[in-house]
Homo-oligomer: A and B are copies of this chain.
Amino acid sequence: MTARPANAHQARLLRLLRDNGPNSRAQLGDQVDLSRSKLAVEVERLLETGLVVADGLAASRGGRRSHNVRLAPGLRFLGVDIGATSVDVAVTNAELEVLGHLNQPMDVREGPGAVFEQVLTMAAKLKASGLAEHFDGAGIGVPGPVRFPEGVPVAPPIMPGWDGFPVREALSQELGCPVMVDNDVNLMALGEQHAGIARTVSDFLCVKIGTGIGCGIVVGGAVHRGTTGSAGDIGHIQAVPEGRPCACGNRGCLEAYFSGAALARDAQEAAQQGLSPELARRREANGTHGTLSAVDVAAAAAAGDTTSLALIREGGTRTGQVIAGLVSFFNPGLVVIGGGVTGLGHTLLAAIRTQVYRQSLPLATGNLPIVLGELGPAAGVIGAARLISDHLFSPA
């Protein structure tokens, strides 16, 4: 088991080395505002734990040359992003650089047993390829609300078999390392904050449009999870009073109008009604089941299919209606749009932007970028590695 920092200074030093890479003792001293002698003590203790290693001499700043230090090059984090229909598993070094990344289709409704077996197989494959000898910690994202302190999914609507399952404890035992669990949308926000488009922003929203729709909320640089871990669950915000019935039992929810699942359903209908030869052709090409997915709609739209473009635009407008309210309420510095459905790309983004800029208060949108995420499917696994490293790089 990996050593932990003994105090806040050591934790701060570890995070600086994680986020900025190898550095000289002199420059680290400037950044943590510690005296030369106090810094020397803390660095010495970190060297003793093995978390930090010496890394040669730094470039001269005039006077005696300072020694470089860096995080141990053998540290390995496992990042796991369990989505509704697929699993991503990646291994990173201590600086959270992705060394290897695997993706596998998988239905989360198969339950924790089957999904964990898959995750462990993928982790073993990454080890076998020589990228890791062991894991110092693992972060796990699941597509539903999580009681964060315990790492337990709670009342997750699209993963019924997971309610109350001790994910953290079970995987910690299987993997033999510390584990932290969070909602997948929060991890996407953490990923884009660590290595993506939100690097310099401390208050932002990260809207993930996949099978469902969720929102990561970052306030003052930290993820806001809410009182029961369900913050950001925007898929069931009412978009239309007394509107379409939703799977949750209410009417007019955003997800009743738009999400990867809703888009696939609407495309299916359009194909059946003969509204789109392009979608009908793709449906047949998908074999005897004759189903369509959001990916098909994206491809049809890219091929110029007007029905598909209209469906995407309409979904973007509905999503924009809800985001507009959140922007007026929260006044973020950035809105990031990500998730599987970002294959729908700029058509979707344009519809969301139009609606938010039209409907939110000018003061809240005057200088508000609304952008696509930068990291794609890597956002979740990098966020997962970031989550566990934040935990391990905190005083024990």
Q: How far is the CB of A32 from chain B (nearest CB, A)?
A: 16
Query: Which residues of the other chain, B, contact A368 by a CB distance below 8 angstroms?
Result: 227
Judging by beta carbons under 8 Å apart, are B237 and A325 in contact? yes
- The segment from A132-140, A345-353, A359-367 that touches chain B is A359-367
Q: Is A338 an interface residue when CB atoms closer than 8 A count as contact?
A: no
Q: Which residue of B lies closest to A235 (CB)?
A: B328
A229 part of interface (Cβ distance < 8 Å): yes
Contact indicator A364/B230 (Cβ below 8 Å): yes
In the bound assembly, the distance between CA atoms of A333 and B230 in angstroms comes to 11
The distance in angstroms between the C-alpha atoms of A227 and B200, with both chains bound, is: 13
Residues of B within 8 A of A236 (CB): 328, 361
Does A238 lie within 8 Å of B331, measured CB to CB? no
Could you tell me the distance in whole angstroms from the C-beta of A8 to the nearest C-beta in chain B? Answer: 13
Given contacts A226-B330, A231-B329, A328-B234, contact A359 B250 (CB under 8 A): yes
- As for how many copies of this chain the complex holds, the number is 2
- Is A215 a contact of B329 with CB atoms below 8 Å? yes
B329 touches A234 (CB 8 A): yes
Q: Check: A203 CB closer than 8 A to any chain B CB.
A: yes
Complex Cα distance, B228 from A119, in Å, reads 43
Q: Which residue of the partner chain, among B324, B325, B366, contacts A322 with CB atoms under 8 Å?
A: B325
Task: Pick the most buried of A226, A236, A333: most chain B CB atoms within 10 A of its CB.
Answer: A226
B364 touches A226 (CB 8 A): yes
CB contacts (< 8 Å) of A239 on chain B: these are 241
| CB neighbours of A248 from chain B (8 A) | 361
How many interface residues does A have (CB within 8 Å)?
Answer: 48
Closest-by-CB residue of B relative to A240 is B241
Q: Tell me, rounded to whole Å, the shortest Cβ–Cβ distance linking A209 to chain B.
A: 16
- Asked whether any CB of chain B lies closer than 8 Å to the CB of A145, the reply is yes
Within A233-268, the residues touching B (CB, 8 Å) are 233-234, 236-241, 248, 250
CB distance from A152 to the nearest CB of B (A): 13
How distant is A221 from chain B, measured CB to nearest CB, in Å? 11
Q: List, in ascending order, chain B residues with CB within 8 A of A316's CB.
A: none
A155-B362, A326-B329 are contacts. A226–B238 as well, Cβ < 8 Å?
no
Residue of B nearest to A250 (CB): B359
Complex-state Cα separation, A330 to B155, whole angstroms? 17
Q: Is residue A154 within 8 Å, beta carbon to beta carbon, of the partner chain? A: yes
Q: In the assembled complex, which residues on chain B have CB atoms less than 8 Å from the CB atom of A232?
A: 329, 331
User: A97 CB to closest chain B CB, in angstroms?
Assistant: 30
Q: Which of B227, B330, B333 contacts A203 (CB 8 A)?
A: B227
Q: Which residues of B contact A362 (CB under 8 A)?
A: 155
Task: Determine whether A219 belongs to the interface, using a CB cutoff of 8 Å to chain B.
Answer: yes
Contact B329 A227 (CB under 8 A): no
Q: Which of A359-394 contact B (CB under 8 A)?
A: 359, 361-364, 366-368
Tell me how far the C-beta of A57 lies from the nearest C-beta in chain B, rounded to whole angstroms. 36
Query: Could you tell me the distance between the alpha carbons of A173 and B142 in the complex, rounded to whole angstroms?
Result: 55
Chain A 330-358, CB within 8 Å of chain B: the 1/0 string? 11110000000000000000000000001
Cβ of A282 within 8 Å of any chain B Cβ, yes or no, is: no
> A332 contacts B226, CB within 8 Å?
yes
A307 at the A/B interface (Cβ < 8 Å)? no
Q: Is the CB of A228 within 8 A of B321?
A: no
User: Closest Cβ of chain B: how far from A157's Cβ, in Å?
Assistant: 9
Please judge, given known A-B contacts A219-B219, A236-B361, A359-B250, whether A226 and B325 are in contact too, CB under 8 Å. Answer: no
With both beta carbons as reference points, the residue of chain B lying nearest to A358 in the complex is identified as B250
- In the complex, whether A101 has a CB less than 8 A from a CB of chain B is no
User: Does the CB pair B155–A363 fall under 8 Å?
Assistant: yes
> 5 tightest A-B contacts by CB?
A226-B331, A231-B331, A227-B333, A237-B325, A230-B363
